[in-house]
Amino acid sequence: MKALVTGGAGLIGSHLVDLLLAEGWEVRVLDNLEPQTHLRGAPPWLRPESELIKGDVRDPEALSFALVGVDVVFHLAAYGGYMPEMAKFFDVNSVGTARMLETIRDRRLPVRKVIVASSQAVYAEGAVRCPEHGVVFPGVRPVDQLRTGDFSVRCPGCGALSPSCPTPEQAPIGGDSIYAMTKADQERTVLTWSRQTGIPAVALRFSCTYGPRQSIFNPYTGVIAIFTTRLLAGQQPVIYEDGLQTRDLCFVEDVARANLLAAVSDRADGQAINIGSGVAASIASVADLIGEFLGVEVEPILRGEFRPGEIRALTSDITRARAIGYEPHTDLRAGIAAYLEWILATGEIADRFGGIEAGLREKGIVQMVGSAS
């Protein structure tokens, strides 16, 4: 089998490349080596056994060349995070995906399956269990509510405060960030195309993925990387809301294995599937755990800031993933230990988050409790 891994130089993609090679696949990587993520160019972990094409998913010629002779496409290339560019999100994620699918269809390439990286960000909010109405799916918390400092999630039926519970795939999608919108575009476009063409496809809704090779240059990258680089640079982590918001944090090797399982099993075909750890961790506890490993006292900066459209609490229900043989193997403590061992060996660590904070506030991506509309 021959695979094309778009974004194959990145966090998830590079680990997937390693796994595919170990399983005897031929692997081709298409990656534009975005400078914000790959400041020094091609990273050292790119395997010589894989074929690298430096190209962009927005370039029809690069796509046509990269797709020749490919059996399975793992489409991981994306523009992500809370970056301020709006048009680029849609151009890379939405249009780039559509262009890739058009190329496969119109050139009648013998691709057997497409796996697309979606995200838990597509959900409006994590599921909650109302004392009266059971499991319900709240919408996005209103910005006016967040401006009062009320970060709670309530039952959409009766307004009762309701604790978080695992979110299944049948929860409504409707994430309220530009990134979330484009991720919803990607998965719906791929699954619709699959039904039209008869080529199997799977959309994997990844939880917050972390681990070795997460970019140390990208200031918008995952929370674990941001907290770690700040603490190593002598800065305290900035925490939005009150720090009690929770995330399902999944180790990158588990996510890579989920991609392979989706490719070799037909039980996932035509579906969107949650891929996560199935365990909730508060953002404040993540900061404390990193500080514990580094031997640094954590005094987080809590300014009463929040990001409109942010999910308060989301833990992935991974029942559907387990049906194809998926099981997370690395818990948060072991995963953070592995990440810290890697980043401490890189020799190049700087706090890049501090330089973008003002811009996020200026553009309204980050707002303050008590601010005017």
For the annotated catalytic residues, the residue numbers are: 179
235 class by beta-carbon count within 10 Å (0-12 exposed, 13-18 middle, 19+ buried): middle
- The answer to whether 341 touches 208, Cβ cutoff 8 Å, is no
d(CA 258, CA 237): 31
d(CA 77, CA 120): 16
Tokens encoding 47: 């395997």
- Cα R_g (the chain), whole angstroms: 20
Q: Give residue 106's Cα distance to chain centre.
A: 30
For helices 96-106 and 60-67, angle between their N-to-C axes, nearest 10 degrees: 50
Alpha-carbon distance values, 282 to 215, 223, 286, 301, 331 (Å): 22, 11, 6, 15, 14
Alpha-carbon distance values, 326 to 47, 177, 190, 255, 318 (Å): 25, 29, 22, 9, 8
